[in-house]
Amino acid sequence: MSSEVSTEYLVIGAGPAGLQASYLLKQAGRDHLVLEAGAAAGTFFTRFPRHRMLISINKVHTGWDDPELNLRTDWNSLLSDDPELLFTAYTPRYFPGADDMVRYLGDFAVKNDLPIRYDTTVVSVTRPDDFVLRDQHGTGYRAKRLIVATGVSQPYIPDIDGVEHAEPYCDVSVDPADFTGQRVLIIGRGNSAFETADNLVETAAVIHVAGPGSLKLAWQTHFVGHLRAVNNNFLDTYQLKSQNAVLDGHIAGIRREGDDFYVKVSFQRVNEVVKEIRYDRVVLATGFRFDASIFAPECRPQLTIKDRFPDQTAAWESVNVPDLFFAGTITQARDFKKSTSGFIHGFRYGVRALHRITEHRYHGVDWPSRELTPDGVTEAIIERVNRTSALWQLFTFMADAVLFGSDGTVRYAEEVPVDHLHEAVARGDFGDVASYLTVTLEYGADHDKINPFDITAGRTPQDDTSGLDGRYLHPVVRRFRAGELLGEHHLTENLENEWDSDEVHRAPLTRFLGASAK
């Protein structure tokens, strides 16, 4: 009979999210174990991105001494109490190499002595009572709670007739010489597609990058998963008529004749006119998806967004499997293409919030908060919006909460997911709350529809408190009672991202707090 290991929490995956979850569980003294299929932490980064450059920024020299502020431009470090264990110590490169991430994650696991079993592939998850996992050796693992931090480990294959003729991004050669003189189609218009296209500009004869809808640029949408400037050199070659092109349309089918591939493209700009185009190579770079195949039917999580991600509650819990939680890039289902939960600089705060949620639910530990005097609320908000990295990174999605008790007490709780906050207050998880404020950092309405470099669009003067410029990040304070919005106040935007003027910021906020409390 195979052996069985029992613990309170099991974490699947020793990537950034799994390590962050394990670190927090260990800090809290919770019995847990991390199961990792690879031989070391961060195995994903030994393969991806294929061209070995990360697009998560790593700014070493910020001019700030405040470690909290520094996390605004450090998109790779995990959260810990060790000021030396930061990714910025591993390389000075603004766009670092994937191998640097592998070294960093390995050190994070070792230096924190995290309980990880490597070379352990989970092949099945059942739930006769507790969760029971089996690995490739037949060893069983039992736990009351399961945190899945496996990322999006499988390619997302769109429904295209003949898609099997395309070479997947995860397998296609990264040697430009292999494409010399060839006509190449890349299906997909995310960073992996353009990363691949940029790599082939010098050798391929013709490169087309194809996908439906308008091409979205990160500098305009503020979603870092859209096309980043570091990967958009290809657009120059297209617009300057240098053999390459971006095709706006759907791929209707792929057929092969000998060594040639004929691809039908339904062009959106010309009323879905279909044209068949010949290529020597077709590369599929359409992203990745979550793998739910290891779960037995009785505990298989419901999926969402074209079945690419597990469907989750505001507490990152499966909507259909209690006590099954998710961490890391798969939590982007909650803020899909709106904020940053799909990236380390976003989900590190999400994992910490998940930990606080489970600490309260299962162990009776209150969400950390500090008491304020009623007169101290304005200054507390001003201080936080000028320092916080969590609200800066998880804009709109994450909030600080100011909780007003019916007995006149005031408490300040940091970094609570907005949707969870509303539900938790309604349940009484935060105790006696007569009304509460949410403090977020947000872009204005239609921020993704304005060209940020178009001066004809104008902008609101920095000393004007009557309106907001939708292109810039600014603090928003809202007051709620019993879930009902009572009022909303915006702190005027400014280019320096400093909200500390007595006249422009403090005084208007104080007036709003007094008026909204009535």
Q: Tell me how many helices (H) and strands (E) the chain has.
A: 11, 24
Q: What are the tens digits of pLDDT across the range 167-179?
A: 999 999 999 999 9
Looking at residue 454, its pLDDT comes to 76
Residue 350 phi, psi (nearest 5): -65, -40
What is residue 102's predicted lDDT score, i.e. its pLDDT?
A: 97
Task: Answer whether 108's CB lies under 8 Å from 85's CB.
Answer: yes
Q: What is the pLDDT of residue 130?
A: 96
Q: What integer is the mean pLDDT of 229-246?
A: 90
Rounded average pLDDT over 132-139: 97
What single string gives the DSSP state of each residue in 284-335?
E---EE---TTB-GGGPPPEETTTTEE-B-TTSBBSSSTTEEE-SGGGGGGS
Identify the pLDDT of residue 459.
62
Q: Is pLDDT of 27 > 90?
A: yes
The pLDDT tens digits for 6-17 are 999 999 999 999
Tokens of 481: 């009672």
Residues 6+ apart with CB under 8 A from 74: 57, 58, 59, 86, 87, 88, 345
CA triplet 400, 402, 405: central angle to 5 degrees? 150
Q: Say whether the peptide bond before residue 374 is cis (omega within 30 degrees of 0).
A: no
Please tell me the distance from the alpha carbon of residue 161 to that of residue 264, in angstroms, as a whole number.
10
Q: Is 452 within 8 Å of 220 (Cβ atoms)?
A: yes
Cis peptide before 297 (omega within 30 of 0): no
Mean pLDDT for the stretch of residues 193-213: 95
| Token pair of 486 as six digits | 């009572």
- Nearest alpha-carbon partner for 388 in 413, 354, 367, 357: 413
pLDDT reported for residue 245: 95
pLDDT at 464: 56
The arithmetic mean of pLDDT across residues 312-319, rounded, is: 98
CA distance 10 to 18: 10
Angle between helices 16-27 and 344-363 (to 10 degrees): 40
Helix axes 377-385, 507-516, angle to 10 degrees: 130
Check: CB of residue 408 under 8 Å from CB of residue 435: no
Beta bridge partners of residue 324, listed in sequence order: 146
Strands 140-148 and 4-12: parallel
How many other CB atoms are there within 10 angstroms of residue 249's CB atom? 20
Q: Is pLDDT of 334 > 80? A: yes
Q: Count of CB atoms within 10 A of residue 371's CB?
A: 10
E-state strands within 405-518: 410-417, 435-443, 473-481, 484-490
The set of residues, in sequence order, having a beta carbon less than 8 Å from that of 69 and lying 6+ positions away, is: 62, 387, 389
Cβ neighbours of residue 152 closer than 8 Å, sequence gap 6 or more: 287, 288, 289, 290, 308, 309, 329, 330
Q: Which residues on adjacent β-strands are paired with residue 116?
A: 34
Domains of the chain and any CATH numbers: 4-154+289-363 (3.50.50.60), 163-286 (3.50.50.60), 369-516 (no CATH)
Span 177-191, mean pLDDT? Answer: 97
pLDDT at position 446 is: 75
Higher pLDDT, 458 or 117: 117
CA gap 227, 189 in Å, rounded: 8
pLDDT > 90? residue 2: no
Question: Distance (Å, rounded) from C-alpha 46 to C-alpha 38?
Answer: 10
| CA atoms of 246 and 206, how far apart (whole Å) | 11
Per-residue pLDDT of 243-292, as tens digits, reads 899 999 999 999 999 999 999 999 988 888 899 999 999 999 999 999 99
Find the DSSP H helices in 92-246: 98-111, 191-200, 218-221, 233-239
- 351 DSSP 8-state letter: H
What does the pLDDT read at residue 1?
A: 41
Residue position matching structure tokens 């309106």: 467
If DSSP codes are grouped into helix, strand and coil, which group holds residue 276?
strand
Q: What is the dihedral of CA 451, 453, 457, 462, to 10 degrees?
A: 120
